[in-house]
Structure 1
């Protein structure tokens, strides 16, 4: 029984895959026209459909909205009972129907054209009545559904959904939507948080920022690292300008090399800890980020340079420290 079910499930997925391939074969210049039409809209795109096509239309409208297109779902029956008031000059209509024969969607499309003078894009099986009303007729293949009676909307809804998703993303690309624009439409989700958080939102700052001057004694350095509990301290000169970073690992390496650190100043400790490295000058590779950086950019910098801590500077003055673990804690 189990193997039979798995085998049948595999056959159904093969049907889906074949349906997607058949849908691809139907793509032509009309699809490009639809993308250009929607991308160039200065008014609302209304998306409609009835039954399961209506559910696909709702998802299509949501995807278009979330990717920067002003779109809204309107039920065809409700449209004919007052919701046509949403129609504005310059609007466009995307109408979905498997058969392209239901009267409500066709009536909505005709009335839409009469009111707005706008263009109608249909998505149906080839040769439908709805396609005849449309200015641009997109097609899904007339294939069997995956149920044994060829009745439950499955293959048809999957292909329609795929076409709408591809349409939305191509419109997004045509509009030049950036990931930061995308984040603005998702401010409360993980996507928005990742892309909208600034470094100031996640960095350690104020009294929590470990800082020590170059002239301080190494014992003060050890105390500062230990008391702030983040395994490092920022080193500044007497004017408060950034010099570099000393970590607890730097101290351990000096001790393992047999260095007598008890008499050292912070400047001497910093200089000796950098011996044998490529450079002691601060740079991006050393872990600097500007005060106006976004948190996502800090993460990318850490990943690119294989470091776990960045010092945030405003000009030459350190204002905070951001750690990889802090970014992970907020969902990166």
Structure 2
């Protein structure tokens, strides 16, 4: 059967309406059982072991991943595999989150008595409030829906959306209860852009040692130019004998001097430098350096240590290579 574009769009809108209604119903039913589930998870010494069959299992894998990345140790165990040895992964110090819309999935129901004998706390996420899963559970989270978005009311659609949203609600509540911070999230995601932004320090990306262009204040203009050209930063620091930063001279400063028509050969570094330049500590986050450079419209910045002594330099190219910007 060929459907017209209006009919296809109407089916899509109906699906979204049904799933939106399912989430609103879920929101209205939240009660002390949700609070007890959160408290139970916070109270265990082990992990949250998420389990479920079929589409509920797919949702369970995502919930376990979300919990783990937001500060709650979690893993997924397939209930069918659990009956063939993987139950050994689950300890009495853990808590099990069992997910099943009906609450009667054979593979899941089969392991419930074993979990009970081991003394493992069980949280059920189910639409079957009188089901085997619900009867074995210490806490039942009602994930029931009035109907599926599937026109046949068969394929898990609205029910899996409700499970996913309820799992996210658990993760967010636990995240807040644990005082989870952006830097904690970054430590779980070191390979992503957020990890780089929150874990990369200036000292990780700066130029240091002989790579840092620097001259004394009495250096002649020719020496200053050689230092800038040789180090390739587009700028040079001017520092005293102890390494304390006195100023900076940049390509932009050079252009402005040329425009004025001055005799550059007779000038000293102290005469052409921009005094009291902006600096950043080596232990600052690299993203702070990027923000400072953007805010003040500069392309290079000098790096100092805890005593204010020059120890490095970086420019926007360094930050781009490190994928901080």
- Are 1:289 and 2:280 an aligned pair? yes
Please list the CA deviations of residues 57-95 of structure 1 after superposition, one character each: whole Å capped at 9, or x if unmatched: 111112212222221111222222322222222221101
* Mapping 1:238-277, distance limit 5 Å: 238-257=241-260, 259-270=262-273, 273=274
| SS state at 2:266 partner | coil
Q: Which runs of 5 or more structure 1 residues have no equivalent in the other structure?
A: 274-279
> Out of 103, 119, 122, which is 2:121 matched to?
119
Structure 1 residues 142 and 128: alpha-carbon distance in aligned structure 2, compared to 1, 3 A threshold: farther
Aligned counterparts of 2:198 and 2:5: Cα–Cα separation in 1: 45
Aligned counterparts of 1:8 and 1:19: Cα–Cα separation in 2: 16
* Mapping 1:147-166, distance limit 5 Å: 147-166=150-169
Partner of 1:184: 187
Aligned counterparts of 1:57 and 1:233: Cα–Cα separation in 2: 56
Partner of 2:145: 142
Per the normalisation by structure 2, the TM-score is 0.88
Structure 1 residues 28 and 305: alpha-carbon distance in aligned structure 2, compared to 1, 3 A threshold: farther
Structure 1 residues 21 and 328: alpha-carbon distance in aligned structure 2, compared to 1, 3 A threshold: farther
**CA shift for structure 1 position 306:** 4.9
Aligned counterparts of 2:99 and 2:249: Cα–Cα separation in 1: 63
**CA shift for structure 1 position 213:** 1.3
Partner of 2:290: 299
| SS state at 1:47 partner | strand
Aligned counterparts of 2:151 and 2:271: Cα–Cα separation in 1: 81
Structure 1 residues 114 and 301: alpha-carbon distance in aligned structure 2, compared to 1, 3 A threshold: farther
- Are 1:199 and 2:202 an aligned pair? yes
| SS state at 1:10 partner | helix
Q: Tell whether the 8 Å contact from 2:145 to 2:158 is kept in structure 1 after alignment.
A: no
Partner of 1:82: 85
- Are 1:106 and 2:109 an aligned pair? yes
| SS state at 1:204 partner | coil
| SS state at 1:142 partner | coil
> Out of 279, 297, 319, which is 2:311 matched to?
319
**CA shift for structure 1 position 56:** 0.8
Q: Tell whether the 8 Å contact from 2:101 to 2:128 is kept in structure 1 after alignment.
A: no
**CA shift for structure 1 position 255:** 4.2
**CA shift for structure 1 position 260:** 4.7
More deviation, 299-308/94-103: 299-308
Aligned counterparts of 1:70 and 1:297: Cα–Cα separation in 2: 31
| SS state at 1:319 partner | strand
Q: Tell whether the 8 Å contact from 1:241 to 1:317 is kept in structure 2 after alignment.
A: yes
Structure 1 residues 55 and 260: alpha-carbon distance in aligned structure 2, compared to 1, 3 A threshold: same
**CA shift for structure 1 position 50:** 0.9
Aligned counterparts of 1:229 and 1:198: Cα–Cα separation in 2: 22
> Out of 301, 321, 325, which is 1:329 matched to?
321
Partner of 1:276: none
Aligned counterparts of 1:290 and 1:197: Cα–Cα separation in 2: 13
Partner of 1:277: none
Please list the CA deviations of residues 76-123 of structure 1 after superposition, one character each: whole Å capped at 9, or x if unmatched: 2222232222222222110101111223323323321220x2321111
How many residue pairs match? The answer is 319
Q: Tell whether the 8 Å contact from 1:46 to 1:73 is kept in structure 2 after alignment.
A: yes
